[in-house]
Amino acid sequence: MRFAQISLVALVIPVMAGASFDPLQHSGPASPYFDAPSQDGIPFDTPAGCVVDQAAYILRHGSRYPEPGSFAGWQALFAKFQNTSYTATGPLAFIPSWVPPIDDIPHEPLFLSSTGALEAFGLGVDLRKRYKFTKGGENITIWSAAQQRVLDTSTFFARGYLSQGNYLTTPSSNRATIISLPDSVNYTFANSLTPSSGCPLYETGDTSATANTFRATYQTGIANRLNKFLHGLTLDATDIGPMQDLCGFQAEVDGDTRFCDVFEDSEWLDYEYAHDLNYYYGSGPGNPFSATVGFPWVKAVSDLFALGPEKTTPGGNITPPALIMGFTHDNNLPPVISALGLWNTSRMHGVYPLSHTTPNPQRQFRASYLVAFRGYVALERLACGAPAAPTATHVAGAAPTAGPTKSFVRVRVDRAPVAIPGCTSGPGSTCPLAQFTSYIDTTRATASGDFVQRCGLQNVSNATSTATFLTVAPPDIQEFLVGLN
Ligand SMILES: *[C@@H]1O[C@H](CO)[C@@H](O)[C@H](O)[C@H]1NC(C)=O
Ligand SMILES: *[C@@H]1O[C@H](CO)[C@@H](O)[C@H](O)[C@H]1NC(C)=O
Ligand SMILES: *[C@@H]1O[C@H](CO)[C@@H](O)[C@H](O)[C@H]1NC(C)=O
Ligand SMILES: *[C@@H]1O[C@H](CO)[C@@H](O)[C@H](O)[C@H]1NC(C)=O
Ligand SMILES: *[C@@H]1O[C@H](CO)[C@@H](O)[C@H](O)[C@H]1NC(C)=O
Ligand SMILES: *[C@@H]1O[C@H](CO)[C@@H](O)[C@H](O)[C@H]1NC(C)=O
Buried b (16+ CB within 10 A) or exposed e, 353-382: ebeeeebeeebbbbbbbbbbbbbbbbbbbb
Residue range(s) defining the domain that contains residue 263: 1-30+65-110+207-282
Domain boundary among 282, 304, 329: 282
pLDDT at 4: 36
- Is residue 193 located within the same domain as residue 47? yes
Residues 59 and 150: their CA atoms lie apart, in Å, by 9
pLDDT at 11: 38
How do residues 462-485 score in pLDDT, each as one tens digit? 999 999 999 999 888 888 888 765
Please check whether residue 296 lies inside any domain of the structure: yes
Closest to 303 in 3D by CA, of 80, 421, 151, 471 = 471
User: Which has more pLDDT, 12 or 48?
Assistant: 48
- How much is the average pLDDT of 18-35? 92
The one catalytic residue among 183, 206, 276, 330: 330
The one catalytic residue among 26, 53, 61, 152: 61
330 part of the active site: yes
For the cut 50, the answer to whether the pLDDT of residue 6 exceeds it is no
* Alpha carbon of 164 to ligand 2 centroid (Å): 17
Which amino acid, 201?
A: L
**Ligand 4 atom closest to the CA of 474, numbered from 1:** 13
- Is residue 305 located within the same domain as residue 443? yes
For the cut 70, the answer to whether the pLDDT of residue 181 exceeds it is yes
Please check whether residue 225 lies inside any domain of the structure: yes
- At 305 the three-state DSSP class reads helix
Buried b (16+ CB within 10 A) or exposed e, 74-94: beebbeebeeeeeebeebbee
Sequence-distant (≥ 6) Cβ neighbours of residue 25 within 8 angstroms: 31, 34, 368
- Is residue 178 located within the same domain as residue 39? yes
Please check whether residue 145 lies inside any domain of the structure: yes
pLDDT at 319: 96
For the cut 50, the answer to whether the pLDDT of residue 422 exceeds it is yes
Q: Taking the mean position of all CA atoms in its chain, how far away is CA 137?
A: 29
* Alpha carbon of 441 to ligand 6 centroid (Å): 28
**Ligand 2 atom closest to the CA of 173, numbered from 1:** 1
User: Which has more pLDDT, 313 or 185?
Assistant: 185
- At 264 the three-state DSSP class reads coil
pLDDT at 392: 46
- How much is the average pLDDT of 116-134? 98
Please give the C-alpha separations between residue 6 and each of 3, 10, 211, 235, in angstroms, as whole numbers.
Answer: 9, 7, 37, 41
How do residues 361-377 score in pLDDT, each as one tens digit? 999 999 999 999 999 99
* Alpha carbon of 342 to ligand 5 centroid (Å): 10
How do residues 53-66 score in pLDDT, each as one tens digit? 999 999 999 999 99
pLDDT at 372: 98
Task: Write out the DSSP string of 31-58.
Answer: SPP-PPPPSSS--SSPPTTEEEEEEEEE
pLDDT at 1: 29
For the cut 70, the answer to whether the pLDDT of residue 391 exceeds it is no
**Ligand 3 atom closest to the CA of 200, numbered from 1:** 14
Q: Taking the mean position of all CA atoms in its chain, how far away is CA 351?
A: 23
For atom 8 of ligand 4, the residue with the nearest CA is 187
114-131 vs 237-254: helix axis angle to the nearest 10? 60
Q: Which domain CATH number covers 328?
A: 3.40.50.1240
**Total count of domains within the chain:** 2
Please check whether residue 255 lies inside any domain of the structure: yes
CB 305, CB 436: distance < 8 Å: yes
- Is residue 269 located within the same domain as residue 410? no
- Is residue 417 located within the same domain as residue 436? yes
Longest dimension (CA), the chain: 77
* Alpha carbon of 344 to ligand 5 centroid (Å): 6
Backbone angles phi, psi at 180, to 5 degrees: -100, 115
461 pocket-lining for ligand 4 (C-beta < 6 Å): no
CB 127, CB 323: distance < 8 Å: yes
236 part of the active site: no
- Is residue 349 located within the same domain as residue 454? yes
CB 127, CB 54: distance < 8 Å: no
- Is residue 418 located within the same domain as residue 294? yes
Peptide bond into 353 cis (omega under 30): yes
- At 417 the three-state DSSP class reads strand
Most ligand 4 atoms within 8 A of CB, residue of 181, 185, 186, 187 to mutate:
187
For the cut 50, the answer to whether the pLDDT of residue 15 exceeds it is no
Domain boundary among 253, 282, 311: 282
Q: What is the 3-state secondary structure (H, E, C) of 111-160?
A: CECHHHHHHHHHHHHHHHHHHCCCCCCCCEEEEEECCHHHHHHHHHHHHH
- Is residue 189 located within the same domain as residue 247? no
Please check whether residue 274 lies inside any domain of the structure: yes
Domain boundary among 236, 255, 282: 282
Residues 400 and 383: their CA atoms lie apart, in Å, by 9
Sequence-distant (≥ 6) Cβ neighbours of residue 1 within 8 angstroms: none
β-strand 50-60 against 406-413: which pairing, if any? unpaired
CB 10, CB 118: distance < 8 Å: no
User: Which has more pLDDT, 201 or 349?
Assistant: 201
Burial of 164 (0-12, 13-18, 19+ CB in 10 A): middle
- How much is the average pLDDT of 422-433? 97
- Is residue 138 located within the same domain as residue 5? no
Please check whether residue 395 lies inside any domain of the structure: no
pLDDT band, residue 386 (cuts 50/70/90): low
- Is residue 138 located within the same domain as residue 160? yes
Please check whether residue 332 lies inside any domain of the structure: yes
* Alpha carbon of 185 to ligand 1 centroid (Å): 41
Which own/partner pairs from 259-264 qualify as long-range (CB within 8 Å, at least 24 positions apart)? Answer: 260/23, 260/24, 261/91, 262/91, 262/92, 262/226, 263/23, 263/222
**Ligand 6 atom closest to the CA of 459, numbered from 1:** 1
pTM: 0.92
Closest to 279 in 3D by CA, of 345, 185, 372 = 372
Most ligand 5 atoms within 8 A of CB, residue of 276, 283, 298, 352 to mutate:
352
- Is residue 11 located within the same domain as residue 128? no
- Is residue 16 located within the same domain as residue 38? no
Please check whether residue 132 lies inside any domain of the structure: yes
- How much is the average pLDDT of 108-127? 97
Which amino acid, 285?
A: P
188 pocket-lining for ligand 4 (C-beta < 6 Å): yes
Backbone angles phi, psi at 92, to 5 degrees: -100, 5
How do residues 328-348 score in pLDDT, each as one tens digit? 999 999 999 999 999 988 777
